[in-house]
Structure 1
């Protein structure tokens, strides 16, 4: 498949070497040198002074992000040179290529603290940015004198303003993203909608845009008799300008670069080879920044090219050959029809060829992209194959209407642009309606979890071998089998995971027999803890639904993430509460959302048992002896009525508990004493320290009764409550328990193999 393609072979070798250094245990190429220098030299929160040059800017969340390169950062310890960073500013008036001097506070990018979390440090390093400077005070700005580098930026904003003046705000955001690559107006609901159904690629400037805008222009020039050279120069200049105009995303740079190679081949009279052009662009990009190899856009963009070449195109050619054989066999049948029957037969055949070809081609691309999507998102959109066929054909129209309407709006007036852009309203409405319909279908998104590297290494050779297999029936059965293999649910083994949710609790328990539990799930220090911490973890684990979600009580640091997951339609079969839980507004809201989403609410009394063949939870508190406190304002102490659970794991189903744990929510020493004195819980292997290690919890008598081997304290490093207290920690240590802290170790996992922390 790579015969004679020397550049491709060189590119592949370079990519393998860089990937080994970037993903392997040892960075032998020194790819992370700049990042390591920042980690060693700069301290989070320290004041610095910096000089550098702005090379890019974009609007995000109503602020302008300025990206600075070739910067010097001066601290009390010395100077860090040749580094890069970004800062936020409330004005976009500073031109690109300006040299600036500023003061500010260092903010390092945080690495993930739980499995599945987005690695923001990895992302920014992959685009050559090492840190952020906050609370910026500009000291000096030297603007470029010769050229106006902001012209394309202002032109882009003008297009966006035309869209906002002529169509609905939400539709303007979609059109701005599709036609001019500006995502500043794109709301999160729209982004999540298209990403959820596998259409996120239509919101990015890519090969589709280049083929429509630049290739169309080149073909028109050639049709009107313009020479190869002049047509190529003009179309190439437009492509280059369009890339700058749309922000120069990785996918657009790859597509425009390959188009320029196509034009060069036309001028030189050589044949164009897509694979060679892709290899050349990969080399160019990786020489510029080797860490692009870890960038999702880079992987998806080049992954799509390889999927088209090695999988989609051969499958499509095989299908067309099969159709040709069929048509030859049907010629005798056609002779028995009249003229009208012959015309109908031709129409049906052409329609079948078109739809079948699109399905096969889309299936081939999906086959190639599956491992990348699973690696990046741990889920796959089930109906993307069909949706691409329904929506991609209208994209050229939407793009052309957007560009022509924007140009006319700027040059002639928004009244004329309104006429041109009016069809965009119907096209976007069609896209959204179709996407919402498919998103609402059962199993529209399949959470498949994280698969090992070996799984992917075996997958691709099998796909290539099946494509080369001569018997079509076995070929497609095999490919569909491999396709469905990704959707097989992963039960996993027995494990308990204490997520680092900051100041709060979030505990996942896998029974090992296909039943998934969760205890609490909220935070007061992490915003959107459900969306950014809990849900990514569940996707990483391949958990498509939680069977039983226990909520100890209704405080925000225990329930905020659960509300988020319910609102995002994550499936929670049952929410389990204490039968003694006080009625309040938060509980009423939870019950309302649960009813709307089809989630059952279960209540446990003291002594009730809930579980599966290997694992069971027993409610030990509140009971008739519950110590309930009521304030002078009539408010009940929610912590005192926390649902307390004894977990027992029976590995061999022999009736003997192999591992036990106690989870007591936010109860205090008074409730712990009641539990100890009544003998409700005896020895346990694991203790989730009550109330995040508060000094009013972890009673000595209670701890002596349980005598845990391991204790886990879930809290934020910085919190206004002083958790964990020295007193509580000392009392836990006195009973011989080994203490783990999420604030230090990140996610803490316990399984049959032992205890593992995300941050060693």
Structure 2
């Protein structure tokens, strides 16, 4: 048994999967762990057999024990104290644990709460508990004071507690689970920084020194590099992804090179190798150079944000350096397994995160396969063979993870990695780090070096811009089933073995056969589960806005509106780097998770922000065959921006002809009732009003049309009875009048409305009218996304949230 740690790691992965299926108590896994360790040890002692099975069982039971124990101890000490106090502010005392992040008029940090004041007296928590805190900065003075808030500072402040939000749409990010896996069960909101009182300041805490160095490094980057490049360099050198411009981040994500904008294992390896070799060139012995790098290693990990790739690389590098010091054999795969086990024991939930899975899977594959594949490639240069082999292996391993976690993959990703990874990892990263060091004593030299790095970064951005613009090979992929993943693993191993010469006498046939099988499996992934036995209509929860996605059983896709986005002007210190965009944060993730490659028809009911604000990013990211809009002229800057993007993409725009029923897919028809070319009224009254009929089931979409439009339609159009009404204008009192409901006689009504919105939607009188007509009401503010499956003339409703979740506090 040469690599027992690798076998233990495999057992841990199996245990992590098993504990999710079984849900057994920790004691069962502990007993299994003891039995496996004792029994396996005795069998090995007696017969020198069974060590692999023993290690697998030990790893499996250890993982189950650790995860089950953490699940059993996930209770919150704050919950029983504040339950029943609603939304009132509660004074707390705690210690700031994370580096405070200032984003415009918001300050965020993790506060480890020690005491809470309730009922006129202080209650000490049985165990200190972290809370994710957001403080609203109301003045410039507060914004300046926020820059002086330090980690490991004990403070007293009033907070309003609320549970982290649940995901409200399919494929949405589960923020509640994300925080729970980090021991955080509550959000705390502070209304002002002026009420936060410092009680103790840990000026000499070593972490404060590291955080201060990180802040000063960021300031040096801002000084050396132009504004358009500084954010990218902060991401590459310091791991600050939030500083990267959104357009650059999107281009890199599209091409599958987003890992270049954060600290990856390759970055760490290059910097540590450069530092080690540089110290040896300066005259240090091998042992002294290794000790210096070892001492700097934890500082660098903390400085760059302590992400999984950084920790993994640092642990492996530390083990290699220790092996160098002790003159022992350096087994990289065992070092990788040891770092994997260490991180999993510390926080076993990391194994479920995409970044953690990618970094270990790719690194293991590179260690095992790069040399063999490079020897089989017909290239004369060793460095070229190594680079090409590494790129091919990394891309092959990352592909299924991209399908499962990100639902998109560019077939040009391998080329982008081959071209840009060496430039960033071997050029931008080490030279950028050197510019930071030079800036401490030689500003001119640092500026020259920064200028050279800027040229490299601009060259990479030019290349990514061109590849994104010219890339016809970027697709969305639905998450494949388990059987497909198993087949992909087998075919990939077959392909690797065939190209590395495992079949000596029939090399060419096996190479051709393995490649055909591998490509065929990709084709299966591209077409699987398109359409289905039922047509699905999804009313997405886009907060105070509208977006509906219709997927017919033959795969035809209609998107009606795209939700809104936050365009409130925040000037100067109030400007935030991140703001809500329904298209980016809700609609796109849903479309990608459904494996939707293109939108056949995009309907813009009218030009209000809450209906078209998210369309911009949708059109930029997913091909659209045609756009249908009302005949009104473009009236707002937002609408002008959206129409300009549609024109630039050469998407045809149609104005529907009223009154005529048109078949748009098998069993699906629509008919437009309003508005006509002569309509020149208030924008809401210019909304498209149309009927969609799916296998005899009739759905009416009135946009934001109000009572004037309803009255006009009742007068001049013979409206049929309908099965589902999309309630106009989020349930505003301006529409959905009683006569309208009596004529349409809907069985169900869907109201797309934001939770606790400032308009008071839906209006109580509208709800009363719907209830009076005995119409079943579905609301996105209470139930999240509403999915309706239509098959054989029947409707099946599936709200994403269940009303009355026991975790949610009573509003």
Please indicate the TM-score interval, normalised by the length of the shorter structure: 0.7 to 0.9
1:584 to 614, 623, 635: 635
- Equivalent position SS for 1:537: helix
- Residues 68-83 of structure 1 aligned to structure 2 (within 5 Å): 68-69=111-112, 71-75=114-118, 80=125, 81-83=127-129
1:185-224 mapped onto 2 (5 Å cutoff): 185-219=243-277
Matches within 5 A, 1:649-668: 649-650=694-695, 657=696, 659-668=697-706
- Whole-angstrom distance in 1 between the partners of 2:673 and 2:720: 11
Shift in Å, 1:407 = 1.0
Instruction: Tell me: CA distance 1:537–1:267, structure 2 relative to 1, closer, same or farther (3 Å).
Output: same
1:346-495 counterparts in 2 under 5 A? 349-351=379-381, 354-355=383-384, 357-394=386-423, 395-410=425-440, 412-469=441-498, 470=503, 471-488=510-527, 491-493=530-532, 494-495=535-536
SS at match of 2:709: helix
Take 1:226 and 1:215, find their aligned partners in 2: how far apart are those partners? Answer: 14
Inter-partner Cα distance in structure 2 for 1:707 and 1:32 = 51
- Note the alpha carbon deviations across 1:478-513, whole angstroms, 9 max, x for none: 334334544447532311000011222111111222
Query: 1:617·1:647 contact (CA, 8 Å) conserved in 2?
Result: yes
Alpha-carbon distance change, 520 to 33 in structure 1, aligned in 2, over 3 angstroms: farther
Task: Please give the per-residue CA displacement for 1:597-618, whole angstroms capped at 9, x wherever unaligned.
Answer: 2222111132134412331211
CA deviation string 1:405-454 (max 9, x = no partner) = 211111x1322211232211211111111111111113253211333445
Q: Please, which runs of 5 or more residues in structure 1 have no aligned partner?
A: 324-348, 629-634, 651-656
Deviation at 1:565, TM superposition (A): 2.8
Asked if residue 572 in structure 1 is aligned to residue 627 in structure 2, the reply is no
User: Where does residue 548 of structure 2 map in the other structure?
Assistant: 507
2:546 matches 1:546: no
Instruction: Label 1:606 to 1:99 Cα distance change in 2 as closer, same or farther (>3 A).
Output: same
Q: Does 1:289 align with 2:347?
A: yes
- Alignment partner of 1:535 out of 578, 585, 588: 588
Distance 2:230 2:708 in 1: 59
Pairs within 5 Å for 1:297-308:
297-308=355-366
Q: 1:185 to 1:265 in 2, by over 3 A?
A: same
Deviation larger for 424-433 or 22-31: 22-31
* 3-state DSSP of counterpart to 1:571: coil
What TM-score comes out, normalization by structure 1 length? 0.85
Alpha-carbon distance in 2 for matches of 1:683, 1:29: 57
Write the distance in 2 (CA, Å) between the matches of 1:268 and 1:547. Answer: 64
Q: Which residue of the other structure, out of 688, 691, 716, is the alignment partner of 2:729?
A: 691
RMSD between aligned alpha carbons? 3.1
Q: 2:12 aligns with which of 11, 14, 21?
A: 14
Q: In structure 1, how many angstroms separate the alpha carbons of the residues matched to 2:332 and 2:735?
A: 66
Determine which of 768, 772, 776 is the counterpart of 1:738: 776
| Residue correspondence of structure 1 range 503-652 to structure 2 within 5 A | 503-523=544-564, 527-566=580-619, 568-579=620-631, 581=632, 584-585=635-636, 588-610=640-662, 611-622=664-675, 636-650=681-695
Specify which of 155, 159, 165 is matched with residue 217 of structure 2.
159
CA drift of 1:664 comes to: 1.4
- Contact 2:659/2:671 (8 A) holds in 1: yes
Q: TM-score with structure 2 length normalisation?
A: 0.80
Task: Measure the CA separation in 2 of the matches of 1:540 and 1:75.
Answer: 45
Q: For residue 188 of structure 2, give the secondary structure of its aligned residue in structure 1.
A: strand
Are 2:9 and 2:340, in contact at CA under 8 Å, matched by a contact in 1?
Answer: yes
- Compared with structure 1, are the counterparts of its residues 13 and 680 closer, same or farther at alpha carbon in structure 2 (3 Å cutoff)? farther
For residue 167 of structure 2, give the secondary structure of its aligned residue in structure 1: coil
Alpha-carbon contact 1:401-1:424 (below 8 Å) kept: yes
2:110 aligned partner: 67
2:481, 2:80 → 1: CA distance?
A: 32
Cα 1:391–1:75 change in 2 (3 A) is farther
Aligned equivalents of 1:163 and 1:456: distance in 2?
Answer: 43
- How is 1:263-274 mapped onto 2 (pairs within 5 angstroms)? 263-274=321-332
Instruction: Indicate yes or no: 2:174 matched with 1:119.
Output: yes
| Counterpart residue number, 2:160 | 105
Q: Which residue of 2 aligns with 1:344?
A: none
User: How many equivalent residue pairs?
Assistant: 711
2-structure distance, mates of 1:70, 1:717: 29
Q: 1:458 to 1:302 in 2, by over 3 A?
A: same
Following superposition, the deviation at residue 64 of structure 1 comes to: 5.4
Offset at 1:57? 0.5
Q: Is contact 1:491-1:514 (8 Å) kept?
A: yes
Question: CA-to-partner distance for each residue in 1:645-676, whole Å, 9 max, x for gaps?
Answer: 111123xxxxxx3x221111222345334444
- Asked if 2 retains the 8 angstrom alpha-carbon contact of 1:127 and 1:295, the reply is no
What is residue 31 of structure 1 aligned with on the other side?
71
Question: Structure 2: how far apart are the matches of 1:664 and 1:98?
Answer: 55
Query: Using the alignment, how far apart are the partners of 1:252 and 1:190 within structure 2?
Result: 22
Q: CA deviation at 1:379?
A: 0.9
Structure 2 residues without counterparts, runs of 5 or longer = 25-66, 136-142, 504-509, 567-578, 803-811
